Structure 1
Amino acid sequence: MPENNNKQQAVPDDSPNSGDSVPSAEKRARTSMAASVPSVQTLGINQWYLSDEFMDAFCKAFTNTGLEDPMFSIKQEQNDGEGIIVSSPFHTGKLRSIFPKKFLHGLKNELSELNWHERLNDLYWFHQTDDLALNGRQHIKALRDYLSGEEFVGFMERITGTELARGYLDLAAQRYKKGNHLLCHDDDVHRGKLTRKIAYIIYLVDEGWSDSDGGALGLFDSDKNRYPTEVVSRILPEFNSIGFFLTGMVSYHTVEEVTVSKHDQERWSVTGWFYGPATSDNTSSDDNGIPPLPSSVLPQVLLLDESPLASEDQTEWAKWINTDYLSQAIQCQIQATFLEQSSVELRDFLRPEVYTSLVSSLGEPFWDQAQLRGPAHLRRYLEAEPASDCSVVNQLSTFFKSASFGRLLAALTSLDFVSASQQIRKFKHGHYTLIHDQAIEPAGLDAVLSIQNEDPEGGDASSSEWDETWGGAIHYIADKDELLRVSPEKNSLSLVLRDEGTLRFVKYLNHMAPRERQDISMVFIEKPSSDDGEDASE
């Protein structure tokens, strides 16, 4: 993905090393072809792929921007070779039976003996080896030497019609376990005279891997603004195959969640990039040629409604809020905790009858008119507007946007608020938010009311604790350090003071979650201090 997009960079298919500069790539990826390992020195690809017949036919199709066939295929039955091109949304190649199977089994055995690191952030969750550039194990070294050697680099140049640099290669291995995933991103990273040109994925999954096991490479279509919309093509992982595509400004893709039934089943792969000279096709002086995200991706901040009056606060608060939180002594205790920790969780926040009515009102009919929020490289969730009626949703929403509620928050936090944003959200399986440089939320007090629906079969699913392996928690980070994690909880209001150096995201809600996440998410903005001068009054 472009460096100015998500804080966390990602790979063609899996690796988080995408933020590396070309100088570090040079240091990492410069390979020596001098010493071959005798036992695997004859490593090569299926010889049919090196024939003029195949390379000419494949290149003609791959470089044909008007290719009408949604899936071009050229086969050679004798060696089980098949070259496939998925034409939409961008040309993506796949070569089946690419390497000797015995070699790949040996490679996988060597990889299994390495140290694996769990990679987890807003964008991805998987396990990865260290960089393989200097690994001296026989099969790993043989693969690295061959991929960076003239035969294979020249082959990739010829079948894609793309000029590549010699001596530059990224290489790492990934394991995706149950629930692991990599969300929507592109691999467009360039610096100086070199840029990533081709992303590749060598699949090492079990030979019986099926569509129901998940982990497909999903390819996103883009709208007129070049923002990703939805997955329109999928490439299933297949043992002994290699997938590849040209990186660029619209090469948005995802590794779909692994949904294996057995916990010991894993999606293995070796991935990386080939580099090439930066050209006008893949660089631009105007932020990669992609327009800034519209202001609508952030909720609108409005002044708090002055009605009801401060003299009516106690009566208004008592209509909605658990009476325990209206005691001055309790408020002082909460304030002390908040001042010490910059966060506090208020369980059973709404009156029981109010919460029960709210849950009932937020059934499926309420969400029928909700909008699916995107673009996909930033967020995926449903957002609904309260109806203009006397329903509890509308009344509670109005109360939360009032100066009266702001004064209650002031009693709990010692902060003075003048404006706020509000969203009524629903996160279903596959929904998330991502951190994006062009969509940084204003600093303020996050006030999120968590709402748990009843189990569809009639049981109270909200009675059991939320398992963090399901995703769906709000993560707060500063730089690369996680500061706080807030999981959904029945009728709980979390208050978190977020300064300009703190960012947050809702982790991808995976298929293991037995229920959805619903909330009313608000950000309250403090009254500008008088020290800010004229700017504070604007």
Structure 2
Amino acid sequence: MPENVKQRTASDDGPNSGDSAPSSEKRARSSIAVSVPSTQTLGINRWYLSDEFTDAYRKAFTNIDLGDPLFSVKQEQNDGEGIIISSPFHTGKLRSIFPKEFLCGLKNELSALNWHERLNDLYWFHQTDDLALNGRQHIKALRDYLSGEEFVGFMERITGTELARGYLDLAAQRYKKGNHLLCHDDDVHRGKLTRKIAYIIYLVDEGWSDSDGGALGLFDSDKNRYPTEVVSRILPEFNSMGFFLTGMASYHTVEEVTVSDPKQERWSVTGWFYGPATSDNASSDDSSIPPLPSSVLPQILPLDESHIASEDQTEWAKWISPDYLGQAVQCQIQDTFLEQSSVELRNFLRPEIYASVVDELGEPFWGLAQLQGPAHLRKYLEAQPLSACRVTEKLSTFFRSASFGRLLTALTSLGFAGASQQIRKFKHGHYTLIHDQAIEPAGLDVILSVQNAAQEGDDASTSEWEETWGGAIHYIADKDELLRVSPEKNSLSLVLRDEGTLRFVKYLNHMAPCARQDISMVFIETPSSDVDASE
């Protein structure tokens, strides 16, 4: 939920990292002349503090077997309503929680701050610096109240959870069109303390609707506590606060913002309340996490030796454009690869071969594909070549052959012993994430982009993939982006990925006119001892 998230993922630089604290001049200056309650007078809807509400709400929130999917207790007089969504884990929402005029002033102050674009495999949104030291009137009043005894004690009473005093994370986010935060669990520890309650205060326009996106999606989990699919959603609503207890099964997402008006944005203030680590949440190391299924990483198989080297030129000519078969061209490609560790070969397949593959990879082909997960690692379709797809099946076999491996050697100077292969489709909402539990083996990434734009309703004249659509493969090392490879029709990309270089496919958003399709392979180099022996 709270969008200033820190997840155990290799590319997560932490949305607040690199942000300097506001200067004393900025902390002291307040240019917004709006009447605001003082720290002593700011408070929530007083009905929420009554025994009538807190007793009823706590009883429901702490009841693990809450029968109804939706619990609600309300007061019609001032629009107060406390809601609990029971599945997949108890998630609360309090409506009309703060004075409306206060939140309007808060939003004005936030709009005057410096905002930073946050973009990696997990998220894309805009965020302020940490608000802990911000001295603007409304911001300070909110921070002091949320961390004060009245509100912390209130959160303890309605959730039955012990909270620490003096620890509160607070930042503001703006989600613009296409922005999102993918599946994660907020399970982060700070010494003897751990995040206990995640909260989000919505500052969206009052007319925000479901079609505008940005809902808080809650994931169900399987028996191993890995996320499966979103089963409940909370729609952003002005002057409401959502919250839940964090943990290793509290997987959630901020769904993509899909507003039609680019000026419309999803505003919020988010953070966490901390509490002492207990026996059920004290450990966050990998030993406490069930192992991932072996299918998460593609299987590496030996290359098929059915063709002898003397037949290579004949075999290559069946599939590959003659532009890439000359020795002089291959030497030029090798020089480029040795200098840059990557090269992109456009119009790689013979035109008639590529046309047949595009035709075969239509909707009937993908109807039998499997959706790959778990959701905190990846989401895309993977299919096996069918006997009916004769060209695709034979091309896939060729790509797994020692003959094709020898072509790659001519282009890269590297020798190869085995390879993995996947036929993938990324539709709207699909992605891959970098995660410490699923680090790919180093090798040569060989990816044929097979775009089927015409069947997806795309304009066939569209030639360049736009960065804002997502769907590109990003290569990073030490949080720095090294390379970005966008989908392009009939293009083969070769990228040498050594240890420490990681990759992900960026979330494909609703602005993309078509899906991303590819045949993705990783070729593993021949061990140096084997190379020496052959020499």
Q: Tell me which of 3, 7, 10 is aligned to 2:10.
A: 7
The one-letter code sitting in structure 2 at the alignment partner of 1:82 is E
How far off is 1:455 after superposition? 2.1
How far off is 1:288 after superposition? 6.7
Q: Which residue pairs with 1:70 in the alignment?
A: 69
How far off is 1:281 after superposition? 1.8
Q: Give the SS at the match of 2:394.
A: helix
Q: Cα deviation per residue 1:3-51 (whole Å; 9 max; x = unaligned)?
A: 88322459xxxx835999xxxxxxxxxxxxxxxx994211100000000
Q: 1:197 to 1:489 in 2, by over 3 A?
A: same
CA distance in 2, matches of 1:526, 1:138: 60
How far off is 1:298 after superposition? 0.4
How far off is 1:294 after superposition? 1.9
How far off is 1:293 after superposition? 1.1
Q: 1:223 to 1:420 in 2, by over 3 A?
A: same
CA distance in 1, matches of 2:69, 2:421: 43
Q: Which residue pairs with 1:370 in the alignment?
A: 369
Conservation of the 8 A alpha-carbon contact between 1:381 and 1:428: yes
Q: Which residue pairs with 1:524 in the alignment?
A: 523
Conservation of the 8 A alpha-carbon contact between 2:36 and 2:102: no
CA distance in 2, matches of 1:4, 1:473: 22
Conservation of the 8 A alpha-carbon contact between 1:429 and 1:511: yes
Q: Which residue pairs with 1:222 in the alignment?
A: 221
Q: Cα deviation per residue 1:180-201 (whole Å; 9 max; x = unaligned)?
A: 0000000111132100000000
Q: Give the SS at the match of 1:455.
A: helix
How far off is 1:282 after superposition? 1.4
Q: Cα deviation per residue 1:184-231 (whole Å; 9 max; x = unaligned)?
A: 000111132100000000000000000000000000000011000000
CA distance in 2, matches of 1:43, 1:107: 12
Q: Cα deviation per residue 1:383-412 (whole Å; 9 max; x = unaligned)?
A: 001124670010000000000000000000
**1:113-152 equivalences in 2 (<5 Å):** 113-152=112-151
How many residues are matched?
Answer: 516
Q: 1:40 to 1:257 in 2, by over 3 A?
A: same
Q: Tell me which of 40, 51, 76 is aligned to 2:37.
A: 40
Q: Which residue pairs with 2:491 in the alignment?
A: 492
The one-letter code sitting in structure 2 at the alignment partner of 1:377 is H
Matched, 1:182 2:185: no
Conservation of the 8 A alpha-carbon contact between 2:217 and 2:230: yes
How far off is 1:517 after superposition? 0.3
Root mean square deviation, CA, Å? 2.3
CA distance in 1, matches of 2:289, 2:478: 25
TM-score w.r.t. structure 1 length?
0.92
Conservation of the 8 A alpha-carbon contact between 1:128 and 1:175: yes
Conservation of the 8 A alpha-carbon contact between 1:335 and 1:413: yes
Q: Cα deviation per residue 1:485-525 (whole Å; 9 max; x = unaligned)?
A: 00000000000000011000000000000100000000001
Conservation of the 8 A alpha-carbon contact between 2:217 and 2:254: yes
Conservation of the 8 A alpha-carbon contact between 1:429 and 1:516: yes
How far off is 1:422 after superposition? 0.4
Q: 1:9 to 1:52 in 2, by over 3 A?
A: farther
CA distance in 1, matches of 2:175, 2:317: 50
CA distance in 1, matches of 2:484, 2:441: 19
How far off is 1:462 after superposition? 6.8
**1:503-514 equivalences in 2 (<5 Å):** 503-514=502-513
Q: Cα deviation per residue 1:131-175 (whole Å; 9 max; x = unaligned)?
A: 000000000000000000000000000000000000000000000
TM-score w.r.t. structure 2 length?
0.93
Q: 1:462 to 1:497 in 2, by over 3 A?
A: farther
Q: Cα deviation per residue 1:361-402 (whole Å; 9 max; x = unaligned)?
A: 101111111000000000000000112467001000000000
The one-letter code sitting in structure 1 at the alignment partner of 2:246 is T
Q: Cα deviation per residue 1:316-374 (whole Å; 9 max; x = unaligned)?
A: 00000000100111101100000000000000000000000010010111111100000
Matched, 1:204 2:203: yes
CA distance in 2, matches of 1:459, 1:169: 47
Q: 1:532 to 1:186 in 2, by over 3 A?
A: farther
Q: 1:520 to 1:283 in 2, by over 3 A?
A: same
How far off is 1:307 after superposition? 1.4
**1:90-169 equivalences in 2 (<5 Å):** 90-169=89-168
CA distance in 2, matches of 1:221, 1:294: 18
Q: Give the SS at the match of 2:133.
A: coil
Q: Which residue pairs with 2:25 in the alignment?
A: none
Q: Which residue pairs with 2:297 in the alignment?
A: 298
Conservation of the 8 A alpha-carbon contact between 2:473 and 2:506: yes
CA distance in 1, matches of 2:259, 2:197: 29
After TM superposition, the structure 1 stretch with the greater mean CA deviation from structure 2, 462-471 or 287-296, is 287-296
Conservation of the 8 A alpha-carbon contact between 2:6 and 2:186: no
Q: 1:53 to 1:458 in 2, by over 3 A?
A: closer
The one-letter code sitting in structure 1 at the alignment partner of 2:262 is H
CA distance in 1, matches of 2:410, 2:416: 11
Conservation of the 8 A alpha-carbon contact between 1:179 and 1:510: yes
CA distance in 2, matches of 1:47, 1:138: 22
The one-letter code sitting in structure 1 at the alignment partner of 2:236 is P
Q: Which residue pairs with 2:191 in the alignment?
A: 192
The one-letter code sitting in structure 2 at the alignment partner of 1:16 is P
The one-letter code sitting in structure 1 at the alignment partner of 2:363 is E
CA distance in 2, matches of 1:288, 1:267: 38
Q: Cα deviation per residue 1:424-460 (whole Å; 9 max; x = unaligned)?
A: 0000000000001111110000000001113237765
Q: Which residue pairs with 1:428 in the alignment?
A: 427
The one-letter code sitting in structure 1 at the alignment partner of 2:410 is A
Q: Give the SS at the match of 1:225.
A: coil
Conservation of the 8 A alpha-carbon contact between 2:469 and 2:510: yes
Q: Give the SS at the match of 1:40.
A: coil
Conservation of the 8 A alpha-carbon contact between 1:462 and 1:490: no
Q: Give the SS at the match of 1:456.
A: helix
CA distance in 2, matches of 1:104, 1:285: 36
Gaps of 5+ in 1: 21-36
After TM superposition, the structure 1 stretch with the greater mean CA deviation from structure 2, 453-462 or 485-494, is 453-462
CA distance in 1, matches of 2:179, 2:240: 21
The one-letter code sitting in structure 2 at the alignment partner of 1:446 is D
CA distance in 1, matches of 2:104, 2:118: 25
Conservation of the 8 A alpha-carbon contact between 2:457 and 2:514: no
How far off is 1:531 after superposition? 9.0
CA distance in 2, matches of 1:144, 1:263: 30
Conservation of the 8 A alpha-carbon contact between 2:36 and 2:105: no
Q: 1:511 to 1:525 in 2, by over 3 A?
A: same
Q: Give the SS at the match of 1:133.
A: helix
How far off is 1:530 after superposition? 1.7
